[in-house]
Structure 1
Amino acid sequence: MDPYRLQNILNEELKAMAIQDYCPNGLQVEGRADVQRIVTGVTASQALIDAAIEQQADAILVHHGYFWKGESPVITRMKGKRIATLLAHQINLLAYHLPLDIHPQLGNNAQLAQRLGVSIRRLLEPWDKWSVAVVGELTQPLSGEQLALSIERTLDRPPLYIEGHSRPVRKVGICTGGGQSYLALAAEQGLDAFISGEISEQTTHIAREMGINYYAAGHHATERYGVQALGQWLQENYQLDIQFIDIDNPV
């Protein structure tokens, strides 16, 4: 498959051109003209690139790519090495950030919610059709500790759990990755808990003082599932050879 055709397919499915983002979505580095074997991963790190070379991949598809808003535009040192490696081996790099977070079926939020038994009901920001954070309900109420254990079993790592109350948890907000800034809004809307990847110093105080449980489950860990679902969708619909490679990250 031509990499530009692959880009068009992904852009259409993820509505990528309609979403304002902090980076370019789609084909970021052009490689060989025929794509049959694709390695997927969370971040286009050097380790993932090296693994893709070992697998003789034609393309890499990730959630976290390159050319972020506000970063230095020069291609030197770490970024220079990454891009030089891709070009030397003619590997295409495709990346989808917010479009892969918010897709209602394949997205990071949707995939994590499904694994945790959370039925998504609405957007946390109903005035924004591209709201990144979502609101859902657990199939059955859990204690704060029980939800922490459920997250640990699902992600194979314990979350950092900040207890904001002792009542049962039913209404849950989710924003995978770095979504801790949504916590106050979630509390204002009466949610029992909020799950994201990272935590900031003020997050603890917001959770305790506004009475909402917070779970920092890891930026990488919460965003492993969207790109896997997208890869599976490509494999099923376009008969491409897809392999997910998880480069472990404790954050």
Structure 2
Amino acid sequence: MINRDQLVKACDHQLRAAHFKDFTVNGLQVEGRESVSRVMTGVTANQALLEEAVAWQADLVLVHHGYFWKNEPVAITGMKQRRIKTLLDHEINLLAYHLPLDAHAELGNNAELGRRLGWKVEGCLDGELGEGLLWSGRVPEPQPLERLAHQIETLLSRTPTVIEAPSVGEIERIAWCTGGAQDMITAAFEAGAQAFVSGEISERTTHLAREMGIHYIAAGHHATERFGVQALGEWLADEYGVTHRFVEIDNPA
């Protein structure tokens, strides 16, 4: 068991939360009970996850996508009211980290995706490692697009959208950014990547990939961002002895 404020301080420090200019509040978003022994993690703090937390008697819910996004309505009504009421009624803390959890050099979404696929990290194309969001590196050995797509499908348990650039052969250099990062494809191409992997795809992404000459794989916003929050939850379990449970609430996006 750990004091809530001590746990939040540890996560803020580990993820360097104050360093990031983000679209949301990073850190404690809804305050619950002071003592924490059970931590439930998930990608998004939706109602289904909160109900799982209530049933499991979680003290704290830790997510990548929390609440209070820039430009969203500020009134606590409707869906937002029901979610926050669930947390308050059961004294469950809500802790959320967005960009800090994408960028972290060891526990982040990009770090975990690259590690699990065996990619050799060479750095970030938009900042220092641990600060930037667009990662670059090399695959273990030169491989065709079909093999890379199969590896990603096997890891994430879903079929990705694959855009082939006919002028590009086997892949050696790769760039990636989890979530909604499709417009980073130009920077990936300019840095010499032969393939770019992100979560989402837009209509324009297909034409950019084909005409610039870079393979593109959209592996799912939700699917590519499942691993960072799990890694952070396991870190908390190892460091502070809390019980950690990850809950998958499926999302095809």
TM-score (norm 1): 0.98
Match of 1:87 in 2: 88
Match of 2:131 in 1: 130
Match of 1:7 in 2: 8
Match of 2:98 in 1: 97
**Structure 2 letter corresponding to 1:226:** G
Per-residue deviation, residues 35-77 of structure 1 (Å, max 9, x unmatched): 1101000000000000000100001000000000111111100
Match of 1:162 in 2: 163
Match of 2:238 in 1: 236
- Would the alpha carbon gap of residues 114 and 128 (structure 1) be closer, same or farther in structure 2, given more than 3 Å must change? closer
Q: Distance in 2 between matches of 1:97 and 1:14?
A: 10
Match of 2:142 in 1: 141
Pair 1:193-2:195 in alignment:
yes
> Once the 2 structures are TM-superposed, how far is the Cα of residue 129 of structure 1 from its aligned partner?
7.3
Q: Following TM superposition, where does structure 1 have runs of at least 4 consecutive aligned residues deviating by more than 4 angstroms? A: 126-129
> Once the 2 structures are TM-superposed, how far is the Cα of residue 127 of structure 1 from its aligned partner?
7.7
Q: Superposed, which structure 2 residues align to 1:1-251 within 5 Å?
A: 1-126=2-127, 130-165=131-166, 166-251=168-253
Higher mean alpha-carbon deviation, 114-123 vs 43-52, is at: 114-123
Q: Distance in 2 between matches of 1:126 and 1:36?
A: 36
**Structure 2 letter corresponding to 1:144:** L
- Would the alpha carbon gap of residues 40 and 129 (structure 1) be closer, same or farther in structure 2, given more than 3 Å must change? closer
List runs of 5+ in structure 1 lacking aligned partners: none
The answer as to whether partners of 2:195 and 2:215 remain within 8 angstroms in 1 is yes
Q: Distance in 1 between matches of 2:60 and 2:87?
A: 9
The answer as to whether partners of 2:134 and 2:184 remain within 8 angstroms in 1 is yes
The answer as to whether partners of 2:125 and 2:132 remain within 8 angstroms in 1 is yes
The answer as to whether partners of 2:103 and 2:130 remain within 8 angstroms in 1 is no
Per-residue deviation, residues 82-107 of structure 1 (Å, max 9, x unmatched): 00110001100000000000100100
Q: Distance in 2 between matches of 1:176 and 1:158?
A: 16
The answer as to whether partners of 2:105 and 2:130 remain within 8 angstroms in 1 is no
Q: Distance in 1 between matches of 2:130 and 2:93?
A: 31
**Structure 1 letter corresponding to 2:240:** Y
Q: Distance in 1 between matches of 2:235 and 2:76?
A: 33
Q: How many residues align?
A: 251
**Structure 2 letter corresponding to 1:173:** A
- Percent sequence identity is 51
> Once the 2 structures are TM-superposed, how far is the Cα of residue 161 of structure 1 from its aligned partner?
0.2
> Once the 2 structures are TM-superposed, how far is the Cα of residue 16 of structure 1 from its aligned partner?
0.6
Q: Distance in 2 between matches of 1:12 and 1:80?
A: 30
> Once the 2 structures are TM-superposed, how far is the Cα of residue 18 of structure 1 from its aligned partner?
1.1
Q: Distance in 2 between matches of 1:87 and 1:219?
A: 29
**Structure 2 letter corresponding to 1:176:** T
SS of aligned partner of 1:247: coil
> Once the 2 structures are TM-superposed, how far is the Cα of residue 130 of structure 1 from its aligned partner?
2.7
TM-score (norm 2): 0.97
